[in-house]
Structure 1
């Protein structure tokens, strides 16, 4: 997805993992995905740079779709679509 498309996403769940180092953001995402219905999108806010590779890898492993990442001032927004 393009950055413009990502900015227009309305996530059904937002996980704020800013200020938490690895593996905090991925653990928060694993816990929160249970609250997201199939087809809905979860947004993860993270300051840990490792999240940029950890979240997409976790999403793929779990059968979800990683939509992309947007860099904000001091943190990233990562988007995952629940697929099952």
Structure 2
């Protein structure tokens, strides 16, 4: 299930660099994190839902690539983002 638009707008306002910023890595990582949290809870209840598990793994990989890019380009923003989202650093 996709995020509802109100939650999505709230995340965009919180992590966006400016008004209407949806493409920055910070916003993309925050949106992916919310979807990952939702799918994780879903899979705790539905253990045999293998297609959702595959989707979760793809989302985690995409978030990992975006975080690696952000860490390389803007380390300060990276550290603020992972602390705000509660993501572990290697």
TM range (shorter): 0.3 to 0.5
Normalized per residue, the structure richer in strand is 1
Larger Rg: 2
Q: What is the TM-score normalised by the length of structure 1?
A: 0.36
Larger RCO of the pair (alpha carbons < 8 Å, separation 6+): 1
